[in-house]
Structure 1
Amino acid sequence: MSPAARASGRIAGPAATAPGAGAADRLSRLLAMVPWLLERQGVALEEAARHFDVSTDQLVTDLELLFVCGTPGHMPGDLIEAEWESGRVYLGNADAIARPLRLGQDEALALLVGLRTLADLQGVEDSAALEGALAKLSAAAGDAVAAASSVQLDLATGADTGVLATVRGALRRTRRLRLRYLTAARDETTDRDVDPVRLDSRDGHFYLQAWCHRAQDVRSFRLDRVVTARELDEDGTPPADVLAPELDDRLFVPGQDLPLVVLDLAPSARWVVDSYPLEDVAPSPRARAGQEGPWLRVRLRVADDAWLRRLVLRLGGAAVVVSPPGLAGELASAARAALAHAARVEQ
């Protein structure tokens, strides 16, 4: 593309409202446009616009986007070249996507299994898009469809199948759930009415993220700790702000009713601050000779003592339990037992 043409280009902003300007439609059009234009170098702008059922202004906007796309590297030689100032369209440096993508049977199988698993996890807001993608992929995947039907991913251990089915049904129908839930940290069972938001799988367990009417806040419920689940004949739409991205993407939302633990972290354990939801972070008075940088004192709410024990033992001397004192003693005993076991194994 000539320097003049590149200098005169502009990226379309929100004002681009021509037909077909939706993000999904536009992406599909761009992927089809590149091989079509490469085979018809010098095609008139009007003819290309007519073929893709858009205005010439929208076609130019698409071309302007194309020439800031390319392969990784982001250097001029990595970008697609587009020229249209003469009223005719020329493309270059786009061989990587000159032909439509073709999936191998193994790739199609993996994608089908993954999409079906995702459909089991997601809430009702994603189901239509997933079903559409599955239908299109199944129609094109041939023999991989039968193979995918025989593959079942076991993502959860310990969750009652009836509870799981009830939760999925409530998500699909946007219904409120009544849960009888075991809180492991307090060895207490409570009844809660919740409006389900989404279902996730992590580390071999299913978690239901929901608006809890008892806590008046977002809570995350591990399904293997749900004793019973019953779908109620009430609308289960959560408050609008519950679906805000900053809440929607967090698997664990700690509540104020959970036990508070205070840890001192060495510089090598600072990754904990970025990895887990904390109440606060402050400088710690603790320091040890030979270690660079200050220690941090963090406060976090813990729903599972076993998880905390694993974390502190994993960190070794880089973490010290400040409170509660009883938990510090338990962890010290667990560490001594682990060292004694390791010594016996080495003998």
Structure 2
Amino acid sequence: MTTTKSTGSRASADRLARLLNLVPYLLARPGVDIAQAAADLGTTGRQLREDLELLWVCGLPGYGPGDLIDMAFDGDRVTITYDAGIDRPLRLTPDEALALVVALRMLAETPGLASREAVERALAKIEDAAGEVAGTPVAVGLPGDVARLDGLRAATQSGRAVRITYYTAARDETSERVVDPIRMLMIGGRGYLEAWCRRAEAVRLFRADRIDAMVELDEAAVVPARASRYEPREAAFQPTPDLPAVTLRIGRGGRWITEYYPCDEVRPEPNGEWLVTLRVTDLAWARRFVLGLGPEVTVVAPAELVAEVHDAAAAALAAYAVPAATPAGPSGSG
């Protein structure tokens, strides 16, 4: 089966938004025609009927008579007869308020956040409404090297070039380069510096926790007009058809690979193993990756990678080999 990006989360979010709008709409228009309601809410009559069927099993904990949303139908007209309290303003418990305050404080510290002012305004309102609860001392910080993130953010704002020492995992090497910062981004829960790399003469993403050292230079950052910016996305690595394809046979303990890495194809086999095809930046990275997974993964293709993994594994085993014991000489009396 070929894997495709799931749209389930988006569809669920859209449906939740419709349901939240649907109840107050119906409360304000008792006996409204379903076709008219569908037109007003920007959906189809069939979808609206399905949403109404779902609303019938929504309500307060207990979920028995008197807890669930109820409605009455008269032909193609519908009226909400019990709203299960959905018309009342939401009131947060102290624990909920504190959790929301902590989440907003962390969001405000996220690198590359475009709407920091909006987050800070929302945080101020919630802290004011929460009162003493919001004053509970809670240290909030992002995972990783916070000082490094702050330094990168400062360099980006100052408009100066930066010399960095960077570890490239794909090639397993550390290099020094001068970059012209563009902005900070948060991708997949990690901080990245988007910058013009003078060595590569292109825009690159540098993962903050892989920058071993940095020095802000006295020269201004200059980003060429031809530089193309990265589009915000869920993962820094985006596979393309021109990259090498690797096929692996994985056991049950290695199935997490299909959730962590973008895969072109995932095909279950009768014995419970999966054949997985994915794109990699280069085969050297793929060799190190496979060797680190141990017996849960077997390389199927390409043949070049099969040979490299076999040779590396054989060399590792040979390093652990115990030399044969030297036979003792004959013993006897002199």
Q: Per-residue deviation at 1:133?
A: 1.4
- CA-to-partner distance for each residue in 1:252-299, whole Å, 9 max, x for gaps? 45799x9x6844234866764563246x6699xxx99x6368834544
Please identify the structure whose Cα radius of gyration is greater: 2
Corresponding letter in the other structure for 1:133: A
Q: Per-residue deviation at 1:165?
A: 1.1
Matches within 5 A, 1:108-257: 108-148=97-137, 150-153=138-141, 155-156=143-144, 159=145, 161=147, 163-170=148-155, 173=157, 175=159, 178-180=162-164, 181-184=166-169, 185-193=171-179, 194-200=181-187, 202=189, 206-213=190-197, 214=200, 216-230=202-216, 233-234=220-221, 242=229, 244=231, 247-252=232-237
Q: Per-residue deviation at 1:127?
A: 0.8
Q: Does the 8 Å contact 1:195/1:238 carry over to 2?
A: no
**Cα distance in structure 2, aligned partners of 1:310 and 1:72:** 53
What SS class does the counterpart of residue 98 from structure 1 fall into? coil
> Paired residue for 1:74?
54
Corresponding letter in the other structure for 1:131: E
**Cα distance in structure 1, aligned partners of 2:130 and 2:49:** 29
What SS class does the counterpart of residue 131 from structure 1 fall into? helix
Q: Does the 8 Å contact 2:70/2:83 carry over to 1?
A: yes
Q: Does the 8 Å contact 2:71/2:80 carry over to 1?
A: yes
Corresponding letter in the other structure for 1:151: A
Aligned CA distance change for structure 1 residues 186 and 165 (closer, same or farther; 3 Å) = same
What SS class does the counterpart of residue 132 from structure 1 fall into? helix
**Cα distance in structure 2, aligned partners of 1:306 and 1:123:** 33
Corresponding letter in the other structure for 1:199: M
Aligned CA distance change for structure 1 residues 68 and 263 (closer, same or farther; 3 Å) = closer
Matched, 1:9 2:37: yes
> Paired residue for 1:21?
none
Corresponding letter in the other structure for 1:143: E
What SS class does the counterpart of residue 9 from structure 1 fall into? helix
TM-score w.r.t. length of structure 1: 0.55
Structure 1 gap ranges (5+): 15-63, 84-89, 339-347
Q: Does the 8 Å contact 1:199/1:208 carry over to 2?
A: yes
Q: Does 225-234 or 178-187 show the bigger shift? A: 225-234
Q: Residue 312 of structure 1 is aligned with which of 293, 304, 313?
A: 293
**Cα distance in structure 2, aligned partners of 1:239 and 1:197:** 20
Q: Where is the helix percentage greater, Structure 1 or Structure 2?
A: 1
**Cα distance in structure 2, aligned partners of 1:78 and 1:132:** 33
Q: Does the 8 Å contact 2:280/2:286 carry over to 1?
A: no
Structure 2 gap ranges (5+): 1-25, 60-68, 73-78, 321-334
**Cα distance in structure 2, aligned partners of 1:282 and 1:274:** 11
Corresponding letter in the other structure for 1:123: G
> Paired residue for 1:101?
90
Corresponding letter in the other structure for 1:316: E
Alignment: residue pair count = 264
Aligned CA distance change for structure 1 residues 219 and 277 (closer, same or farther; 3 Å) = farther
- CA-to-partner distance for each residue in 1:155-174, whole Å, 9 max, x for gaps? 11xx372x221223356x38
Corresponding letter in the other structure for 1:126: S
Corresponding letter in the other structure for 1:312: L
TM-score w.r.t. length of structure 2: 0.57
RMSD: 5.1
**Cα distance in structure 2, aligned partners of 1:253 and 1:331:** 29
Aligned CA distance change for structure 1 residues 146 and 174 (closer, same or farther; 3 Å) = same
Q: Per-residue deviation at 1:131?
A: 1.0
> Paired residue for 1:300?
280
